[in-house]
């Protein structure tokens, strides 16, 4: 007779060797939900090391990787190589999953979902996809999602913006029942850390956070700060992040460095990647998240608000579900350095201090009420029980 106390096994697929918000999410649920036996299949790299440091069981799969296009798009040769890589990795994982009596595959993102799709073909094991990003209807990723929609048990959307994006991609209401929105969440930093630093208009620290790539929109912020500098100099910009190993990313970093030297000399510090959230947020007064494309959710916005910071973000995508404009942060029309400069100028005014202190309190309270790690874990625990029952 089978022991009912035996935990059901769930395999989690992670294609990223570098650490990011999706990997942080995966570590949270795998290390803090004790009802299941989780195993994370991941390529070698920083993510693998951090999963291991959290005592999560891992399986190394070299061919489980995010696909990156060469040039303008996918040619037939690239597509064939990609298919072979997916098939080989999926076949190896399928053998282990079947032997391990795995009950469910959780694919962390659209690319991982491709591997989960083939594992289902090989084993019959159901899979769900946690969708973190937004895609254009005509993109390779959207075509992949259309295929996965036919066979996935569920797509978990990190925001309503992601759900609407999936509806647009599918082009039909046939799969709406497969979309469920579960917002991300985080544990709140200690309150004594965030209540000690009051707004000071003598010099305000402005933090920019993220990988050094064009879509993060750091150049737009620099352009806005160039406008601000014409009338104010009571600020300093701190950029936290590294480029990725592409020529475009390295050129973008050089562009930012040159722009800062020529237009904001003495007003910008480049810090590189910083693992400690305290070191990023504690000294910041304002956090600007101003990507050039709509973001699906933005953990940066959530983290900054949890630390009680003034957050300025583009008025589109997932941040609109977190920020109530002029109440717990500021939403600015996207891709407009001029409009962004107006809000930053207002924040740097001495007359705004009392209003900003109120916004800081509301920012932290809104995270505590709606986006806690406890709520995240409760939601996923309930969902996973439903998926394996």
> 128-153, pLDDT tens digit by residue?
999 999 999 888 889 999 999 999 99
User: Do 177 and 214 lie in a common domain?
Assistant: no
Q: What confidence tens digit (pLDDT) does each residue in 294-351 have? A: 999 999 999 999 999 999 999 999 999 999 999 999 999 999 999 999 999 999 997 7
Closest by CA position to 141, among listed 118, 172, 171, 109: 109
Q: What domain count does the chain have?
A: 2
User: Do 37 and 63 lie in a common domain?
Assistant: yes
What is d(CA 115, CA 119) in angstroms, rounded to the nearest whole number?
Answer: 6
Q: Are 42 and 61 in contact (CB under 8 A)?
A: yes
Q: Mean pLDDT across the stretch 83-110? A: 95
Helices 160-170 and 140-151, packing angle to 10 deg: 90
What is the pLDDT, as a whole number, of residue 197? 61
Helices 46-53 and 21-32, packing angle to 10 deg: 20
What is the pLDDT, as a whole number, of residue 351? 76
User: Do 35 and 93 lie in a common domain?
Assistant: yes
Closest by CA position to 139, among listed 80, 189, 73, 187: 73
Distance of CA 155 to the CA centre of its chain: 16
User: Do 218 and 165 lie in a common domain?
Assistant: no
Q: Mean pLDDT across the stretch 60-64? A: 93
User: Do 180 and 154 lie in a common domain?
Assistant: yes
Classify 331 as helix, strand or coil: strand
What is the pLDDT, as a whole number, of residue 2? 41
pLDDT of 195 over the 60 cut: no
Q: Mean pLDDT across the stretch 3-25? A: 88
Q: What confidence tens digit (pLDDT) does each residue in 35-58 have? A: 999 999 999 999 999 999 999 999
Q: E strand or H helix at 311, and its extent?
A: strand 310-314
Q: Are strands 102-108 and 9-13 parallel, antiparallel or unpaired?
A: parallel
User: Do 353 and 381 lie in a common domain?
Assistant: no
What is d(CA 230, CA 141) in angstroms, rounded to the nearest whole number?
Answer: 43
Q: What confidence tens digit (pLDDT) does each residue in 215-240 have? A: 999 999 999 999 999 999 999 999 99
What is the pLDDT, as a whole number, of residue 4? 54
Give this prediction's pTM.
0.89
What is d(CA 108, CA 15) in angstroms, rounded to the nearest whole number?
Answer: 8
Side by side, the strands of the sheet bearing 9-13 are 58-60, 37-42, 9-13, 102-108, 127-131, 154-157, 179-181
For residue 273, the domain's CATH number is 3.40.50.2000
User: Do 161 and 266 lie in a common domain?
Assistant: no
Distance set, CA 71 to CA 34, 246, 248, 368 (Å): 44, 12, 11, 44
Give 95's pLDDT tier (boundaries 50, 70, 90). Answer: very high
pLDDT of 67 over the 80 cut: no
**Domain extent for 330:** 191-370
What is d(CA 278, CA 132) in angstroms, rounded to the nearest whole number?
Answer: 24
pLDDT of 69 over the 90 cut: no
Q: What is the mean pLDDT of the chain?
A: 92
Distance of CA 369 to the CA centre of its chain: 20
- By percentage, how much of the chain surpasses pLDDT 70? 93
What is the pLDDT, as a whole number, of residue 1? 38
User: Do 14 and 145 lie in a common domain?
Assistant: yes
User: Do 264 and 357 lie in a common domain?
Assistant: yes
What is the pLDDT, as a whole number, of residue 60? 97
């Amino acid at each position: 007779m089978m022991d009912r106390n035996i935990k059901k096994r769930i395999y989690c697929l992670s294609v990223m060797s570098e650490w990011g918000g999706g990997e942080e999410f995966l570590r949270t649920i795998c290390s803090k939900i004790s009802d299941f036996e989780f195993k994370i299949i991941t390529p070698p790299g920083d993510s693998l090391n951090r999963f291991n440091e959290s005592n999560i069981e891992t399986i190394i799969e070299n061919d489980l990787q995010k696909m990156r296009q060469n040039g303008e798009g996918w040619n037939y040769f690239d597509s064939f190589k990609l298919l072979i890589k997916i098939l080989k990795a999926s076949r190896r994982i399928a053998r282990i999953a079947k032997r391990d009596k795995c009950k469910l595959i959780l694919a962390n993102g659209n690319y991982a979902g491709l591997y989960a799709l083939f594992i289902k073909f090989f084993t019959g094991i159901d899979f769900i996809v946690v969708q973190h990003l937004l895609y254009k209807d005509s993109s390779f990723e959207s075509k992949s999602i259309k295929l996965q929609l036919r066979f996935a048990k569920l797509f978990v959307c990190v925001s309503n913006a992601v759900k609407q994006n999936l509806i647009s991609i599918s082009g039909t209401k046939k799969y709406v029942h497969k979309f469920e929105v579960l917002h991300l969440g985080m544990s709140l930093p200690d309150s004594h850390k965030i209540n000690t630093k009051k707004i000071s208009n003598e010099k305000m620290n402005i933090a920019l956070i993220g990988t050094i790539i064009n879509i993060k929109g750091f150049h737009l912020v620099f352009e806005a700060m160039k406008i601000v500098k014409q009338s104010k100099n009571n600020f300093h910009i701190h950029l936290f992040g590294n480029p990725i190993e592409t020529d475009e990313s390295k050129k973008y970093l050089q562009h930012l460095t040159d722009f800062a030297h020529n237009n904001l000399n003495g007003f910008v510090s480049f810090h590189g990647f910083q693992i400690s959230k305290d070191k990023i947020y504690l000294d910041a007064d304002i956090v600007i998240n101003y990507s050039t494309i709509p973001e699906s959710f933005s953990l940066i916005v959530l983290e900054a608000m949890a630390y009680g910071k003034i957050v300025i973000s583009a008025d589109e995508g997932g941040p609109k579900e977190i920020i109530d404009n002029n109440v717990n942060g500021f939403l600015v029309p996207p891709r407009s350095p001029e409009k962004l400069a107006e809000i930053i100028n207002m924040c740097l005014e001495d007359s705004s201090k009392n209003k900003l202190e109120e916004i800081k309190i509301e920012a932290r309270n809104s995270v505590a009420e709606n986006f806690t790690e406890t709520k995240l874990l409760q939601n996923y625990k309930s969902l996973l029980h439903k998926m394996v029952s």
